[in-house]
Amino acid sequence: MEITDNHFHLDPSGRKELAVKDFIKAGGTRLVLVHKPYGSWKKIDSFQSQVKTTLKLAEKARETGAKVAVVAAPHPIELLKLLEFNSSSQASEIYFEAVDYCTSLVDEKKTVGLGELGRPHFEVEPTVWDLANEVLTESLSRAKEVDAAVVLHTESATPEVMADLSRIASNAKFPKSRLVKHYGGPSALEDPHGLVVSLISSSTNIEIAAKSEFMLETDYLDDPQRPGAVMGPKTVPRKTHKALENNILSEDQVYNIHTKLPDSVYHEFL
């Protein structure tokens, strides 16, 4: 039986493969390893160097026995940081350079998708909000060209937010069946508007969402300053087995959550 953590970070200053070993010992088998910024960057070569670090961390994770699908992208907050030193057009151009680098990795089969793309999860000036949505639309369009999955980082997912993200995907002609709302929450499942929802793996979330279609994640940060944040690496396998034992999830539901849906989104775990 596959057990897939749909959103897992590793950090060069963190526990790295030791965290992956904890995941495996608890019953986990597959990870979606999501690139995270290891520091601010202003030029494309710095971004590329950070993504290469994520690819090395993925290899270390595989050496422990985990199957890994890697997604990488310039985080939406990076666009805001670029705006501190550049005009809107210059910041967008640098951001798209990073997007194009990540689409090239998908094309070379070094990664399976782009993540985290999205928009700020907090209130910003209307002009910045509009720019972020324009950049997201174009980024999705570029991701579609290489048949990439995409993981989204946005504000909390109400049905209205899911409808808006679905509209953006339609404008970009991006397949919603391969567009994942990370940190979705049960409210995202009320009407996901065709997007895939990834839930933080709490017992409450699993119980509320049991009859819906979703994936599970920890959003484990591997941050030495915050051990176990957002959730620890053992959480997804432990919560899944507990839900099975308590008849909250059936074996068919576990198969859908951990095998069928992740395979349909990411296509391949190596």
pLDDT per position as a tens digit, 103-141: 999 999 999 999 999 999 999 999 999 999 999 999 999
Give the E-state strand segments of 11-146 in sequence order: 30-34, 67-71, 113-118
Band of residue 255 on the pLDDT scale cut at 50, 70, 90: very high
For range 176-198, the mean pLDDT: 97
pLDDT score for 155:
97
Contact indicator for 207, 244 with CB cutoff of 8 Å? no
| Overall pTM surpassing 0.95 (yes/no) | yes
pLDDT score for 178:
98
Mean predicted lDDT score pLDDT of the chain: 97
Q: Tell me which amino acid residue 94 is.
A: I
pLDDT score for 123:
96
For range 220-241, the mean pLDDT: 96
Strand order in the sheet with 196-200: 4-8, 30-34, 67-71, 113-118, 149-153, 179-181, 196-200, 215-217
Band of residue 97 on the pLDDT scale cut at 50, 70, 90: very high
- For the domain spanning 4-266, the CATH number is 3.20.20.140
pLDDT score for 156:
95
CA distances from 238 to 28, 100, 135 (A): 9, 37, 38
